[in-house]
């Protein structure tokens, strides 16, 4: 019985250790760090909502390509691109439907759809663009387009505007205000080596715990 118990404990340890390794490696390789390339406006203050992002709503925000190019030059890693936009859901109201954020790069659109029900109140909502790299933005004309796709009135979210800056347009008219947003680049997890080392040390500790049990068993 002691023999079976010993190998049962070892088998259980190996199973748990293998599962832990798999979960940790998956999380480590999929996890990304974000580096902010550009926050606009620099000293943003949410002053008024843009209006509900209902079906047909469209707001465009031009971006100074010089600011983006300077920021790109200071970031060494050519990772994926995301945008954070300050949104609101009207005091945690239950909202439905779909809206979109488009990053227009020299008249080429990269579109991300999002559910209104996922938007937190007065918080930045992240949009990541598949296949888009930081270098794709260099020396390009950039425009952010926030658009209602399928949200009814009274159940749509909104975006905050800053009154101290400009660049926002609606129906071709300048609003004299700006969306509050950030452009980010995603970088590999910088701590993956430490996490893998911790798992290896954990596995070795299990081996050293098991060896004395094996030695005692062999001397009986």
- pLDDT (0 to 100) of residue 196: 56
Q: State residue 86's pLDDT score.
A: 96
| Helical (H) or strand (E) element with 20 | helix 2-30
DSSP structure class, residue 5: H
Torsion angles phi and psi, residue 34, rounded to 5: -110, 140
What confidence category does residue 64 fall into, taking pLDDT thresholds of 50, 70 and 90? confident
**Which one-letter DSSP state was computed for residue 163?**
T
Buried b (16+ CB within 10 A) or exposed e, 188-206: eeeeeeeeeeebeeeeeeb
Residue 112 pLDDT > 70:
yes
Q: What is the pTM of this model?
A: 0.73
Q: What are phi and psi of 81, to 5 degrees?
A: -115, 135
pLDDT tens for each residue of 136-192: 998 899 999 999 999 999 999 999 999 988 999 998 899 999 999 999 998 765 554
How far apart CA 53 and CA 113 sit, in angstroms, is 13
Q: Which residues pair with 5 in a beta bridge?
A: none
CB-based contacts of 151: which residues, under 8 Å, 6+ apart?
A: 52, 53, 54, 55, 95, 96, 97, 98, 99, 116, 157
Q: Report percent pLDDT > 70 for the chain.
A: 70
């Amino acid at each position: 019985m002691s023999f079976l118990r010993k190998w049962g404990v070892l088998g259980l340890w190996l199973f748990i250790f293998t599962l832990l390794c798999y979960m940790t490696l998956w999380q480590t390789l999929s996890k990304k760090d974000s580096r902010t390339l550009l926050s606009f406006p620099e000293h943003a203050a949410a002053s008024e909502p843009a209006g509900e992002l209902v079906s047909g709503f469209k707001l465009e925000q031009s971006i100074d390509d010089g600011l983006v190019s300077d920021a790109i030059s200071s970031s060494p890693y050519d990772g994926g691109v995301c945008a954070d936009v300050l949104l609101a859901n009207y005091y945690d109201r239950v909202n439905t439907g779909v809206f979109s954020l488009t990053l227009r790069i020299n008249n080429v659109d990269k579109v991300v759809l999002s559910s209104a029900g996922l938007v937190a109140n007065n918080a930045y909502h992240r949009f990541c663009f598949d296949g888009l790299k930081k270098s794709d933005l260099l020396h390009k004309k950039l425009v952010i387009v926030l658009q209602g796709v399928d949200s009814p009135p009274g159940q749509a979210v909104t975006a905050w505007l800053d009154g101290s800056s400009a660049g926002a347009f609606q129906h071709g008219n300048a609003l004299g205000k700006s969306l509050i947003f950030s452009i980010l680049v995603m970088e590999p997890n910088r701590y993956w080596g430490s996490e893998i080392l911790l798992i290896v040390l954990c596995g070795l500790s299990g081996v050293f715990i098991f060896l004395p049990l094996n030695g005692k068993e062999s001397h009986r």
